[in-house]
Structure 1
Amino acid sequence: MARVPQARRQFAAKDRQQARLCAEQRPRAPPKTALGVWGKAAPTPAARRVQDARAHAANCNRSTVVLKRRGFPMMAPGQVDLLKKRGKKLGEGHFSTAVVTRWHGADAVLKAPRQKPNVGQFVKECGLLHTLEGAGGAPEPLGLCLYPLAQVISFAGPQTLAGYLEESRSSAELLRLAADLCGKVSEVHEKGIIHNDLKFDNVIVDGRGQIHLIDFGNANPQGQTFCLVSKGQRCPWLGPEVFSQHLSSPAQDAFSVGFMLDTISKLMP
């Protein structure tokens, strides 16, 4: 009689083992989630935010690596905050503000965007300044920070060409100034770069009376497509072709230089 319970336990163990094997071989039902394109589960809003944050960090890291390989001096966020506190506001344009600050014992300009940061535009301008290597009296790139977006460039002086012409000048001074302006623009063109926004406020006259071209935010390599978007009235110092899709050429800058030369000629005694 004692063998009967033992035999029942053996048969029950075999039944449980057989049921477990059948359960393992049975195909599982798909998860009850909303399926997106190609049968993949649609990510949740939180997952999307994580993906976007990771992609942004990867792009910033990739940009930092590329800039370091090209020899760009990168800055830490703390340096930007310190330079802003020590600086004095120089002026502001449509896209960025400029602050005069100290950089390794010398005056420099800290530029930061006014509106939504455009990393591509800042990196492009910094790359063009790096290519110019001071041609045309252009500023030298001293530092770049991607977050918060800012760059430090050399400082030529606070006096623009507009301010220089407000004072009484002799014909000899104005002729020398006009010749220097044409020569500096030619130096930039020899580097294969078109400024696209030459005007009195983007030309600096230093203490020795030398010309320096600044603000290369709208500059473009020669031969590339360019279009300057303007919501207001078209500026008289810019060629009409810059407001439509066109290939950048020295003709755009020549139009602007001619406008400034006409003004200089009218100031001659």
Structure 2
Amino acid sequence: MREIEEIGNVEQHYEVLDMVGDGGQGDLFLGRDRRNGERVALKLQKPRGLGPECLFREAGDELLGEGSRMTMLTGIQGIPEIIGAGTHRGRRCLVMEFVEGRQLQHVLLAKRPVKHPMVVASVIGQLCEILGEVHDRGLVHCDLKSENVIVQSDGRLRLIDMGHAVVEGEPTSEERGTLGWASPEQSDACLSGLTRRADIFGLGCILLEMTVMRLPYGGMEGRAEQGCPVLPADRLAELPPEFASLALRMVRWEAEERPADVREVFDRLRRYLPRPGSRRPSKRLRPDPTEHYRTCAPRL
């Protein structure tokens, strides 16, 4: 694993432009390279509040930890490249590849519910391909949600935000992820360590979000409890038959009852993927994720 390049004062190398995102672990800014004018993404730790200095330093260290995890994924096309790390006005900062496109969350809002098998398979299939490489390098993303997926103009998906990622199997000391999308084992410390099946749960949540516009176990209404229905009866009946059994298995409460890995999920989707050279679906998302498979063969 290569080390992050330390660039010192970020403003010496990059012009800091507009704020484009506000996350729990950092603020995202658009930046421009002063040497060549190319755009970059700058993730800054939150400004210091009224708390002690030690907590502010810890937050900076956590941001650098995210950068280190990103170096483990260097070369994966679906993950933005990490360029370097530095400091901006006393705040630690990651400099990353800028990804042009729209959040999947916003793409879906215009078209939900998404029922066309080709479209559903193209979204989940691409995420399986990306996660397959992430998992092969020993990491679990832990924050899969449509907000963290970018759809580029050519239909290719990119997975962003490694702030909650962990090394697979290493014990965790606190909850990780986002309420509604996080698997049950992520809701507290996990001494046995999180596995790739936590990401399969999140992927299943995206599938349900697309098709029935509902997250499992009550979604974001509160912390789910074991025994809670996966979906209300009316939403359960709306699940596309092509994906119903797969989706419900992906979001099983017990991790060992979910598919073993994303390749198993992908194999269930394969028959619904568009063939290279095929026509685009009449009811498509914009940008159109099916375009990726209509121009490229699957990698899994």
Give the TM interval when normalised to the shorter protein: 0.5 to 0.7
Q: Where does structure 2 lack aligned partners over 5 or more consecutive residues?
A: 48-55, 214-239, 241-282, 284-300
Aligned alpha-carbon RMSD (Å): 2.5
Check whether the contact 2:185–2:194 (CA below 8 A) recurs between aligned residues. Answer: no
User: What pairs up with 1:39-188 in 2 under 5 angstroms?
Assistant: 70-77=2-9, 79=11, 83-84=15-16, 87-103=17-33, 104-115=36-47, 116-117=56-57, 118-135=59-76, 137-146=78-87, 148-168=91-111, 171=116, 172-188=118-134
Q: Does 1:236 align with 2:175?
A: no
CA distance in 1, matches of 2:194, 2:115: 35
Check whether the contact 1:98–1:110 (CA below 8 A) recurs between aligned residues. Answer: yes
Relative CO higher for 1 or 2, CA cutoff 8 Å, sep ≥ 6? 2
1:154-186 Cα distance to aligned partner (Å, 9 max, x none): 011241110111233782333212211222122
Q: TM-score, normalised by structure 2?
A: 0.59
Q: Where does structure 1 lack aligned partners over 5 or more consecutive residues?
A: 1-68
Amino acid at match of 1:77: N
CA distance in 2, matches of 1:102, 1:81: 9
CA distance in 2, matches of 1:78, 1:139: 19
CA distance in 1, matches of 2:64, 2:73: 14
Q: Larger Cα Rg: Structure 1 or Structure 2?
A: 1
* Runs ≥4 residues deviating over 6 A: none
Q: Does 1:209 align with 2:155?
A: yes
Q: Cα distance, 1:235 vs. partner?
A: 1.2
Structure with a larger share of its residues in helix: 1
SS of the aligned residue for 2:19 comes to strand
SS of the aligned residue for 2:15 comes to helix
Aligned residues: 196
Check whether the contact 2:75–2:81 (CA below 8 A) recurs between aligned residues. Answer: yes
- Counterpart in 1 of 2:138? 192
Check whether the contact 1:139–1:156 (CA below 8 A) recurs between aligned residues. Answer: yes
SS of the aligned residue for 1:89 comes to strand
Identity %: 23
1:108-127 Cα distance to aligned partner (Å, 9 max, x none): 10110114342321221111
Q: Cα distance, 1:77 vs. partner?
A: 1.6
SS of the aligned residue for 2:93 comes to strand
